[in-house]
Structure 1
């Protein structure tokens, strides 16, 4: 489809039938139609927020048009998607929650891409989106499984479609098809649109005897949501920047190791030690040795890392890297095709592509890179992310040279994915650990584990969830997703333990005058943490995914100068934003995933003028400070998980013995 001069649907070239084998449903169907719509009605058997993330540009324009959307779906949702829907619905009645969700239309595109569920909650709260759940009844049984929709433009032209595709990321990978009716083309098309419109409206108003339709408040009351599906949170990891191109000794060793390993290998280097510069130096030497054209592909886990890589590439005079992914380049397919053709034809002797992990695994991207007749080189940033079933599709056998970068290349609880990465990149060829880097290249640190006891209510809920996890694990009928959902709920309970706030008060009392203080929180904690800091008279500002790059830079500059005593951060240490001037940090929300807490610590240890050490306060949750003699094994396991992080942090701390003494009593009473 190509847009004409008119903003309405008739300007589009809309085929009668489309399928996923020949059409990019997001870029060639949804986005052009949503961008011209003022109303969108959608009935779908299965919905996940990943679809909204993919269609972000179209949904943003729909909102700018003053448009609204109605989604009718089955109750099969991931827990996180359901929580976002409920939060948005509750915010309609709760002004404080409404203000917390408040966005501008200008921010919606970014929010849909980077924090999709929160953006969906906001759209619901602001009346841009309404969702209802459909459940067959009476003469029908099973699920609401239809897939159809109607678009309306400003002139009330209508486009209806009907087919097999759900609104989910998985459906975008399936072979699916739509039949499309445009009401201005013919009487037959008009009748088709009328039919779909009437049946949607009847369903929406609960006028079909065989389908019960519930609003979200009704669904909450009746507990209708069937939280079967489990979506892993998109943990985002980032890479550091460097200020020059003179290699340190260890970086030079890494590059030499790569050439000795036939230009393949993983660099396992601590966060903050210059993986980007090391990789680009290896690339520079590789290109100097080639007599034939080369296409270099750099794959990053999140979009905002692409400009950072482009800036680092300027230091090496790597000209004009092409951004080949949708959110930054809607014409990426055409650009990639031209780029490969130009190199194949000898018009260019080298080309640089910066893409995302997701686009790297896209079938079109893979096809074009496979068609290159020249040499190709792949640099995988935060390579552990490329080991998942979906992302590893982008690891083509045709790449002649390969560099993988990560502080933690092992995939947590995924031995198969880890093995795949090690085999594809031909092993870890160079290691440079945190202990190696301190104090020459990273700042020494003191580590203080802060013991936080669960409340009685939290402990009882934790025990109940543990019983449910055990029962579901033992049941042959319970899907793995149910076990994972229950485990995630239990983990969330630990992360947001109530007594952490009193512990924060105690830490601040002990510190007295805070000095470039950072509090690392989660969405459930951030407001209360800010209130605690305010009570102590600490001048602070939140520092989260909501702030754009320009605002983050401004906050960092004010924080560096001392205009802000503290920053309250959420996700930024996982997303590639470094806060090098931090001298004191409290980790209030921690994951059991080593990739996360290793990354977070590394970012706190960046060197900075006048910074001779960092002090890290780490909240360790325990079921009870005075456990009974018959302490449950599940409670021991909780403490074991917390102590895994303790061991990692204590090993390289200046005050290692002091930190271990503070935790020894717990090991004794829990017999760990």
Structure 2
């Protein structure tokens, strides 16, 4: 029988005293696993006896160690065995354990000796977990099988009684069983990794070493005489370890081993960091998808080396980005505080706790992730006060948004280090805002544009532009608005406060709205979508934010075609869990399309995205770059080697002499957008595609001269 078939025959729940768990559950799992991790409130060598068949097979066929995170709830016999094993010289193992092998018989009949041998030979690794309040009492196993990850979790401790005597239950989740199981396994894996790295805010993990075990053995010798409870044992052990300097820093930025930022496709990250690190000020202009987030965290880590302690404040433009940043920070061995779903009071309380940890030396780094709006709230006052006690670094994501008047008026000098991130640091049509950014954050110290990124760390793309015609009603409305605009042409030169100028601007906006929300775009989208719904996957549709009907029409079209989709608007991003579910379903292919207005423009990191349909675009170059960044990110998990962009453009009928200044600006903007996407695309200016439309737009502009 194939191993996958065996695993799929496992029941979803078992009761310990009614089954032989070693033979029925752990045996089949261990036979196809190459990594085993366990978190348990109680551990005893008796668990080796109860799982002798399963573990002996794993130890015989695999070279990896079995990792345990346990509470300090050991028997004195097991604690002494661990101490003796841990202090053993590797060269003495043959003398200490002559001819010993972790066979099924030895695990079953000589469990204490087996435990000592496995620890001495590093086949089992332990860390002791102590919780600040309460007890560390979880019971979870995690297995990496050849078919994916599998978890066994429930009420069973890793003890002899837990596996065979008590009435205990355990449940099984396999990540290939569906979204719910994937979430369970992901949560267990994240918790284990956080605890093993000792970056949890609530639990401290200690290495099993001579000091730890000496203290533990001494405490257990006094346990019976003094009547110590488990909580008192934990408190006494923690106190001893802190006094001996065994408690490591709970929070400290550390560059992950897998991150190669100095060579290869992402070597620009190392160059960017080097450009910033000298002064600790500046803006990194890196193409969307070029790894701005990781680059900034490398910079923050290096800045840490210059300080006794450092508070890092990360400010992002939208709530949806808070948790995305939190996930990236976690790779740097820090569990940050994300303000997603938290009140202002919660965030202030968290800041206070961070400052206390830095002051007491419990942590070298703390990371607070907030929105741009928080930098303009009274939280800024608390950060300002804290800057006199601890150096603070500000990372401004999508920093161009901080060039607005709101932040300019609220900006503080609290931050010793300042790092701005943007694919387009220059604020188009706003020289004052751009000047403020370069004054406050520092100049652009490194630039890595799209043309350098494509084919390097971003995949190439095809660009297909589709001409859309206004329908009869839209043409009539367009003509009427154009007539009124021509009559008010003189108002374009009037002061902004003039009523005629306000009327002229309103008419121009109404005319542009016809172009953005043209009904023909829905029909063109229907033609652009693959005919076979099974060929539609991992696509984004960007709709106008000026007319909600367009998004509704797109959703209706996808519903008629029986395409699995979900819209992403402010409503979805307001719910943390809903947003996570949507992104996960899109990433694994369950959702074929995400529809949106502008929510997906900034920061969404879904590298699996392969196709984008741009039903609406404005004249801001930054938006074009951001939307390209949504689809050009490389995705080794899906072997993506290119992306596709579909653009939709309306060129209304224009009679001689009807091109007023605003219409000329609109035509120029469309020309610049199509040219921008075409020049960077792999299919270039192909015949009957963007080339013909570009020629038509050029002709209109020349006729207007």
Q: Which range, TM-score by smaller chain? A: 0.5 to 0.7
Q: How many angstroms apart in 1 are the aligned matches of 2:345 and 2:487?
A: 46
What is the Cα deviation at residue 415 of structure 1?
0.8
**Is the 2:468–2:651 contact (alpha carbons within 8 Å) kept by the matching residues of 1?**
yes
- Give the structure with the higher percent helix: 2
Q: CA offsets per residue over residues 301-353 of structure 1, 9 Å max, x none?
A: 1223222222211211234x344688444343454456557756878654332
Q: How does 1:141-540 map to 2 (within 5 A)?
A: 245-247=259-261, 248-260=266-278, 262-290=279-307, 292-319=308-335, 321-323=336-338, 327-336=342-351, 339-340=354-355, 350-363=365-378, 365-366=380-381, 368-370=383-385, 372-373=387-388, 374-454=390-470, 455-464=474-483, 466-467=485-486, 470=489, 472-476=491-495, 477-478=497-498, 486-508=507-529, 514-516=535-537, 517-522=539-544, 523-536=548-561, 538-540=563-565
Q: CA offsets per residue over residues 466-517 of structure 1, 9 Å max, x none?
A: 4587455444442787666555444333210122123223323789974314
Q: How many angstroms apart in 2 are the aligned matches of 1:338 and 1:531?
A: 49
Q: How many angstroms apart in 1 are the aligned matches of 2:404 and 2:599?
A: 23
Q: Return closer, same or farther for 1:254/1:552 CA change in 2, 3 Å cut-off.
A: same
- Asked if 1:639 is matched to 2:675, the reply is no
What is the Cα deviation at residue 563 of structure 1?
4.6
Q: Return closer, same or farther for 1:348/1:549 CA change in 2, 3 Å cut-off.
A: closer
Q: CA offsets per residue over residues 62-116 of structure 1, 9 Å max, x none?
A: xxxxxxxxxxxxxxxxxxxxxxxxxxxxxxxxxxxxxxxxxxxxxxxxxxxxxxx
What is the Cα deviation at residue 657 of structure 1?
2.0
Q: How many angstroms apart in 2 are the aligned matches of 1:334 and 1:662?
A: 60
Q: CA offsets per residue over residues 202-230 of structure 1, 9 Å max, x none?
A: xxxxxxxxxxxxxxxxxxxxxxxxxxxxx
Q: CA offsets per residue over residues 231-255 of structure 1, 9 Å max, x none?
A: xxxxxxxxxxx99533231101111
Q: Return closer, same or farther for 1:322/1:610 CA change in 2, 3 Å cut-off.
A: closer
Aligned to 1:21: none
Larger radius of gyration, structure 1 or 2?
A: 2
What is the Cα deviation at residue 383 of structure 1?
0.4
The correspondence for 1:569, drawn from 585, 590, 596, is 596
The correspondence for 2:692, drawn from 653, 656, 662, is 662
Q: Return closer, same or farther for 1:637/1:396 CA change in 2, 3 Å cut-off.
A: same
- Asked if 1:581 is matched to 2:608, the reply is yes
**Is the 2:678–2:690 contact (alpha carbons within 8 Å) kept by the matching residues of 1?**
yes
Q: How many angstroms apart in 1 are the aligned matches of 2:358 and 2:275?
A: 29
Q: Return closer, same or farther for 1:441/1:403 CA change in 2, 3 Å cut-off.
A: same
**CA RMSD of the aligned region, Å?**
3.2
What is the Cα deviation at residue 385 of structure 1?
0.7
**Is the 2:376–2:411 contact (alpha carbons within 8 Å) kept by the matching residues of 1?**
yes
Aligned to 1:156: none
What is the Cα deviation at residue 257 of structure 1?
0.7
Q: How many angstroms apart in 1 are the aligned matches of 2:509 and 2:353?
A: 45
Q: Return closer, same or farther for 1:532/1:461 CA change in 2, 3 Å cut-off.
A: farther
**Is the 1:621–1:639 contact (alpha carbons within 8 Å) kept by the matching residues of 2?**
no
Q: CA offsets per residue over residues 620-669 of structure 1, 9 Å max, x none?
A: 12222xx3233413433221111222122112100112154232431353
**Is the 1:325–1:359 contact (alpha carbons within 8 Å) kept by the matching residues of 2?**
no
Q: Return closer, same or farther for 1:384/1:483 CA change in 2, 3 Å cut-off.
A: farther
Equivalenced residue count is 426
- Asked if 1:651 is matched to 2:679, the reply is yes
Q: How many angstroms apart in 1 are the aligned matches of 2:287 and 2:316?
A: 17
Q: Return closer, same or farther for 1:345/1:472 CA change in 2, 3 Å cut-off.
A: farther
What is the Cα deviation at residue 430 of structure 1?
0.8
- Asked if 1:601 is matched to 2:628, the reply is yes
Q: What TM-score do you get using the length of structure 2 for normalisation?
A: 0.55
**Stretch deviating more after TM superposition (273-282 or 433-442):** 433-442
What is the Cα deviation at residue 574 of structure 1?
2.0
What is the Cα deviation at residue 295 of structure 1?
2.4
What is the Cα deviation at residue 265 of structure 1?
0.9
Q: How many angstroms apart in 1 are the aligned matches of 2:585 and 2:352?
A: 44
Q: Return closer, same or farther for 1:277/1:482 CA change in 2, 3 Å cut-off.
A: farther
Q: Return closer, same or farther for 1:331/1:567 CA change in 2, 3 Å cut-off.
A: closer
Q: How many angstroms apart in 2 are the aligned matches of 1:644 and 1:665?
A: 12
Aligned to 1:5: none
Q: Return closer, same or farther for 1:365/1:469 CA change in 2, 3 Å cut-off.
A: farther
**Gaps in structure 2 of 5+ consecutive residues:** 1-255
Q: How many angstroms apart in 2 are the aligned matches of 1:371 and 1:561?
A: 43
Q: Return closer, same or farther for 1:314/1:429 CA change in 2, 3 Å cut-off.
A: same
Q: How many angstroms apart in 1 are the aligned matches of 2:484 and 2:268?
A: 47
Q: Return closer, same or farther for 1:524/1:575 CA change in 2, 3 Å cut-off.
A: farther
What is the Cα deviation at residue 405 of structure 1?
0.3
Q: Return closer, same or farther for 1:582/1:277 CA change in 2, 3 Å cut-off.
A: closer
**Is the 1:545–1:571 contact (alpha carbons within 8 Å) kept by the matching residues of 2?**
no
